Amino acid sequence: VVIVKQLANLEVWFQRPKDVVRKLVSGDLDLGIVGLDTVSEHGQGNEDLVIVHDELEYGDCRLSIAIPKYGIFENINSLEELAKMPQWTKDRPLRIATGFTYMGPKFVKERGLEHVSFSTADGALEAAPAMGIADAILDLVSSGTTLRENNLKEIEGGVVLESQAVLVASKKSLIQRNGVLDITHEILERLEAHLRATGQFTVTANMRGSSAQEVAERILCQSSLSGLQGPTISPVFCKRDGKVVVDYYAIVICVPRKALYKSVQQLRACFSSEVVSLVGGSGVLVSNLTYIFEEETPRWRSLLSHLGL
Ligand SMILES: Nc1ncnc2c1ncn2[C@@H]1O[C@H](COP(=O)(O)OP(=O)(O)OP(=O)(O)O)[C@@H](O)[C@H]1O
Ligand SMILES: O=P(O)(O)OC[C@H]1O[C@H](OP(=O)(O)OP(=O)(O)O)[C@H](O)[C@@H]1O
Ligand SMILES: [Mg+2]
């Protein structure tokens, strides 16, 4: 168990993914972080489970049907073609091996496929077709390496679910248990602020200028330098001949990773476009942003309305 100093009254337990979902349903846990696939499979549509944050931006994968590249499947490339193969009959159905014994049959039923049977195993499902135990598999795919190594391919229309890590809660605890809603709010705010900040940088530089307005006008000529709301420009005070004067202005902007180098170049261009005879600016400092807290936490609004609060 881990205690998080910054969040009072919170205990974090590391559990197997499916146990996280089971324990939410049974009321033993209030919140969980787990793949959406696991929530769907082991939550089985339980209305007490509520997705508080649906994209934590890791654990990306999809639950997808795969078949061999060889033999009778050589020219089969879609779910429709697979379903239409004359091989599958009532006595000899299409056999799919999967750990997803709730999602699998549900998907097959929704698509109206006939003559399908499921078998299950805990791991190494990819070997089932080569072993002759199954015709197809339904499993998580991320990079596709495991499928390639096993001579299997995905098919068009065969994706059952797109998944990534999510924050999921028990509706009952959110509503009934003292303090759970407050902690959820704080966790959600931190998660959203952190995710908003990933891939963002703060860029800082000092630039000579006659006024903040004049520096701003130079900066805003450049497309990559407008920041989140606009550049922050503040005077840098120094003492010269016993007087406090302002020769430089500090510029702070927030830029996404992709625009970083361009922004640095554009800042430098601002330095050199100066008509002042002295050196135009300082070095450009770049640091990672950890959080961007904004006024609204959009998912908090939707959670409250989902809970009818
Ligand atoms: N290759 C992958 N790439 C990205 N995410 C994955 C991948 N495989 C699994 N995941 C995600 O991680 C979660 C946990 O994976 P998995 O089902 O393999 O559990 P596990 O940690 O091996 O637990 P168990 O021991 O119960 O099988 C999945 O529900 C899925 O959301
Ligand atoms: O497309 P890829 O990037 O190759 O990933 C897919 C593999 O990852 C998962 O297995 P995991 O590594 O979790 O092992 P497990 O099945 O034993 O849990 C999944 O069950 C696939 O086997
Ligand atoms: Mg695993």
Which has the higher per-residue pLDDT, 227 or 305?
Answer: 305
Say what the pLDDT of residue 226 is: 72
Tokens 């072993």 belong to residue: 131
For atom 18 of ligand 2, the residue with the nearest CA is: 123
Q: Is 140 in the pocket of ligand 1 (CB under 6 A)?
A: yes
Q: Tabulate helix, strand, coil % of the chain (nearest 5).
A: 35, 30, 35
- For 140-175, what is each residue's pLDDT tens digit? 999 999 999 999 999 999 999 999 999 999 999 999
pLDDT at res. 272: 65
Domain covering 201-288 assigned CATH 3.30.70.120 in the classification: yes
Please indicate whether the domains covering 2-59+164-197+296-306 and 61-161 agree at the CATH topology level: yes
- ipTM of this complex: 0.95
| Number of neighbouring beta carbons within 10 Å of residue 213 | 10
Q: Per CATH, which fold does 2-59+164-197+296-306 belong to?
A: D-Maltodextrin-Binding Protein; domain 2 (3.40.190)
Distances from the Cα of 224 to the Cα of 69, 205, 228, 233, angstroms: 47, 15, 11, 16
The contacts of residue 63 (CB under 8 Å, 6+ apart) are 37, 100, 103, 138, 139, 140, 141, 159, 160, 161, 163
Q: How far is the CA of 197 from the centre of ligand 3 (A)?
A: 29
Residues 264-309: pLDDT tens digits?
A: 888 888 776 554 444 456 678 899 999 989 888 889 999 999 999 8
Q: Which ligand is nearest to the CA of 162?
A: 1
CA atoms of 49 and 166, how far apart (whole Å): 12
Token pair 């379903």 is found at 83
Tell me what pLDDT residue 280 has. Answer: 57
Q: Which fold has domain 61-161?
A: D-Maltodextrin-Binding Protein; domain 2 (3.40.190)
143 lines ligand 2 (CB under 6 A): yes
Q: Which one of the ligands is nearest to 17 CA?
A: 1
- For residue 56, what are its two tokens? 């934590």
User: What's the CA-to-centroid distance between 56 and ligand 1, angstroms?
Assistant: 15
Question: So where are the chain's domains?
Answer: 2-59+164-197+296-306, 61-161, 201-288
Average per-residue pLDDT in the chain? 92
User: Does ligand 2 have an atom closer than 6 angstroms to the CB of 123?
Assistant: yes
Centroid of ligand 3 to alpha carbon of 17 (angstroms): 9
pLDDT value of position 228 = 65
> Among 154, 150, 127, which Cα is nearest to 141's?
154
CA atoms of 73 and 30, how far apart (whole Å): 46
Predicted pLDDT at 281: 62
The mean per-residue pLDDT over the stretch 51-72 comes to: 98
pLDDT digits (tens, 9 = 90+) for 82-105: 999 999 999 999 999 999 999 999
Residue-wise pLDDT tens digits, 64-75: 999 999 999 999
Nearest to 300, CA basis, from 194, 195, 181? 181
Candidate of 38, 122, 140 to mutate for ligand 1, largest count of ligand atoms within 8 Å of Cβ: 140
Contact 183, 163 (CB under 8 A): no
